[in-house]
Amino acid sequence: MIFSTGKEMKIINWEQVFFVHRRIVSAVKRVEFVSDRLSYIVLRGRWRNTILVNVHAPSEEKCDESKDSFYEELEQVFDHFPKYHIKMLLGDFNAKVERDNIFKPTI
């Protein structure tokens, strides 16, 4: 998908797309595409901003180095945000749920 900010064109994955309703489009302060697996949008609120972080984590089959670098990048992005903003983490963490009895309370 090609995304235009008016000044530049970016090619992004479908996993990194934000759909914003026209009633709140004026509240969008910033959209940042950090990587092909991580993006966020900042929405202006009355008392504080809301930050929606969209992620697409590497699957369990990927190498540990790839997973570690993704979670390090996610941590750096979260540390960059001011503490008083509302932060929501959204996306696909590629979790695999087993049918073992030990996991039933969590599921």
pLDDT one-digit tens code per residue, 45-57: 999 999 999 888 8
pLDDT digits (tens, 9 = 90+) for 9-35: 455 555 566 777 788 888 889 888 888
Query: pLDDT value at position 14?
Result: 52
Q: Which residues pair with 65 in a beta bridge?
A: none
- The reported pLDDT for the residue numbered 33 is 86
Rounded Cα gap, residues 32 and 61, in angstroms: 28
* Averaged pLDDT of the chain: 79
pLDDT for 41-87, tens place per residue?
999 999 999 999 988 888 777 888 888 888 899 999 989 999 999 99
Q: Is the torsion defined by CA of 46, 27, 54, 7 positive or negative?
A: negative
Q: What percent of the chain has pLDDT over 70?
A: 73
Confirm whether pTM is higher than 0.85.
Answer: no
Whole-angstrom CA distances from 29 to 40, 63, 99 are 11, 36, 43
